[in-house]
C-alpha cells in the first residue's frame, strides 16, 4: 500500500489498543473464476430460453400477464450472462482489507465483515507464480446457506486479488501468535 488510500472507515471497527498489521485491496484479480466454467454455459441456456419464451409470448399476441411473467426471467438471464461480471468488478474496486492484531476486516462497498482472531476458520491460499492470489476462509454451512451465490467473492470470507499474498499471510501469522486480549 502506498498509504494514500483512505482507510479512515476502519477506525470505527477497532477496539482500544488494537494495532493494524496490514492493509490492502484487490489489485490483481480477474472478473472470471473457476465457477464460471459451469455458470457460463448455464447462464447462456437460461438467458436463451427466457428470451425465446418472451419473444414467443410477444409475437403470439398473448395477454399482457404472460409478457410481464417473462420479464424477470430475461433480466435474471442477462444478469447471469453479463451483469454479474460488472457487478463483481464493481464490488472488488470498492473493497478493502485490514488485518489487525485481533481480527480481519473486509469492506465491500458499504458492507463490512469481520473474522475474530479467536475464531478463525480453516484458511486456504491460492497463490500464483507472481506472488499474487487469494486467501479464503471456510465458513460454516449455516453462514453459506444465507449467502446464496455462485460467485467466489461472496462465498464465505475471502481476501481476493492480493498483489502480495505473503505479506497478508505474515500479518495473519503475527495476529495468531500475538498474546490474548480481553
What residues pair up with 127 in beta bridges, in sequence order?
133
CB atoms within 10 A of CB 137: 17
pLDDT in tens, 51-65: 999 999 999 988 989
The predicted pLDDT at position 180 comes to 59
Which residues 6+ apart lie within 8 Å of 80 measured at CB?
Answer: 39, 42, 43, 46, 47
Per the structure block, which three cell numbers stand in for 7? 482507510
pLDDT in tens, 134-169: 998 876 554 444 444 444 444 568 899 999 999 999
Per the structure block, which three cell numbers stand in for 35? 465457477
The predicted pLDDT at position 69 comes to 92
- DSSP state letters, the chain: --S-S--GGGGGGPPTT--EEEEE---S--S--TTHHHHHHHHHHHHHHHHHHHHHHHHTT--HHHHHHHHHHHHHHHIIIIIHHHHHHHHHHTEEEEEESSEEEEEETTEEEEEEGGG---EEEEE-TTS-EEEEE---HHHHHTS----TTTSSEEEEEES-HHHHHHHHHHHHHSPP--
Report pTM: 0.74
| d(C-alpha 157, C-alpha 175), whole Å | 17
Angstrom distances, CA of residue 162 to CA of 29, 79, 84, 109, 167: 8, 26, 21, 17, 9
CB atoms within 10 A of CB 46: 19
Low pLDDT (below 70) residues in the chain: 1-5, 139-156, 179-182
Amino acid at each position: 500500500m502506498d498509504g494514500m488510500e483512505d482507510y479512515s472507515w476502519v477506525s470505527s471497527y477497532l477496539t482500544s489498543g488494537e494495532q493494524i498489521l496490514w492493509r490492502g485491496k484487490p489489485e490483481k484479480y480477474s472478473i472470471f473464476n473457476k465457477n464460471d466454467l459451469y455458470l457460463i454455459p448455464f447462464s447462456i441456456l437460461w438467458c436463451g430460453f427466457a428470451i425465446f419464451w418472451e419473444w414467443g409470448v410477444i409475437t403470439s399476441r398473448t395477454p399482457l400477464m404472460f409478457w410481464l411473467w417473462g420479464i424477470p426471467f430475461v433480466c435474471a438471464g442477462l444478469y447471469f450472462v453479463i451483469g454479474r461480471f460488472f457487478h463483481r468488478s464493481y464490488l472488488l474496486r470498492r473493497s478493502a482489507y485490514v488485518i489487525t492484531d485481533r481480527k480481519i476486516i473486509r469492506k465491500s462497498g458499504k458492507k463490512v465483515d469481520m473474522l475474530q482472531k479467536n475464531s478463525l476458520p480453516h484458511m486456504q491460499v491460492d497463490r500464483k507464480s507472481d506472488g499474487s492470489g487469494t486467501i479464503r476462509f471456510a465458513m460454516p454451512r449455516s453462514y453459506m446457506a444465507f449467502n446464496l451465490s455462485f460467485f467466489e467473492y461472496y462465498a464465505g470470507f475471502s481476501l481476493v486479488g492480493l498483489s502480495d499474498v505473503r505479506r497478508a499471510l505474515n500479518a495473519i501469522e503475527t495476529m495468531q501468535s500475538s498474546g490474548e486480549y480481553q
